[in-house]
Amino acid sequence: MKFNFFKASLSLLLCTTLMASCVSSKKYEDLKASKDALQAEQAASKQKVDELSASLKEREQKLADMERQMNEQSKALSNLKNEINASLKDFNQGDLHVEIRDGKVYVSLSDKLLFATGSTKVNPTGQKALNQLVDVLKKNQEVGIMVEGHTDDVEVLPGTKKIADNWDLSVLRATEITRLLTQKGLTPDRVTPSGRAYYQPADTGRTAAAKAKNRRTEIILTPDLTEVYKVLGIQAQAQAQN
């Protein structure tokens, strides 16, 4: 009887010990699993932080590169403007104006400086001005050139030879100046003529002085933006699409 009781007690103790051991083992496994999960989460978080940090550094570098390129571009435009002003200083300053606008250099020349009334042929004074402008542009080969002819809104006299209206007048004058610029040494692929008639007035007033301002030729000089595009990744994207 006593032996059976002892045997039963021993069995109960063994079962209790085994159960306790199983509980402890399960708790350990659960804790280990939680630890492993936490470590994996921490590793993933660190990797994400590292990736974000690298991306931030890349963006900061791109921003610094862009700022440097824009500063260099601004300086180049300012130098070009100063060169042109210096080359044209001997002409009547009321007949020309040089300014930087929208990231480009605008050289505005009055029709009085370039043409006789209703004519599309550049006069000797205008040719001299264009010669000196070409000398500057030859030293700035990266600059693109747009020649825009502008008129006032006074209709062309009926019967004017080869000129039907202000569209004709503005286009023919722009083409004539383009022809002269290329004859004086600029490569044709750099120069584009364009006629605007009276649709982009410099002065919307109705006075004779306002109309005189509108009769002009604008030579628009556009800098080479290749390096800026490289910083933006535009060139790489274009190449990838091709």
Say which residue, 204 or 44, is predicted with more confidence.
Answer: 204
Predicted confidence (pLDDT) per residue in 171-204, tens digit: 999 999 999 999 999 999 999 999 999 999 999 9
Do the beta carbons of residue 138 and residue 187 sit within 8 Å? Answer: no
**CA 176 → CA 147, 155, 170, 189, distances in Å?**
10, 21, 10, 16
Whole-angstrom distance, CA of residue 83 vs CA of residue 87: 6
143: helix, coil or strand? coil
Beta bridge pairs of residue 87: none
Taking the domain 71-228, which CATH number applies? Answer: 3.30.1330.60
DSSP readout, 188-208? GGGEEEEE-TTSS-S----SH
Q: How confident is the model at residue 241 (pLDDT cuts 50, 70, 90)?
A: very low
What are the backbone angles phi and psi of residue 81, rounded to the nearest 5°?
-60, -45
Structure tokens at 204: 């919307």
List the end-to-end C-alpha distance of the chain, in Å, as a whole number: 96
Q: Is the pLDDT assigned to residue 227 strictly greater than 60? A: no
Model pLDDT, residue 17: 60
Predicted confidence (pLDDT) per residue in 70-82, tens digit: 788 888 899 999 9
Predicted confidence (pLDDT) per residue in 96-149, tens digit: 999 999 889 999 999 999 998 888 999 999 999 999 999 999 999 889 999 999
On average, the pLDDT of the chain sits at 84
Burial of 127 (0-12, 13-18, 19+ CB in 10 A): middle
Q: Is the dihedral of CA 188, 177, 127, 131 positive or negative?
A: negative
Model pLDDT, residue 239: 41
Q: H or E element: which one contains 70?
A: helix 2-87
Number of C-beta neighbours around residue 130 at 10 A:
22
Stated pTM of the model: 0.71
Whole-angstrom distance, CA of residue 140 vs CA of residue 129: 17
Q: Is the pLDDT assigned to residue 242 strictly greater than 50? A: no
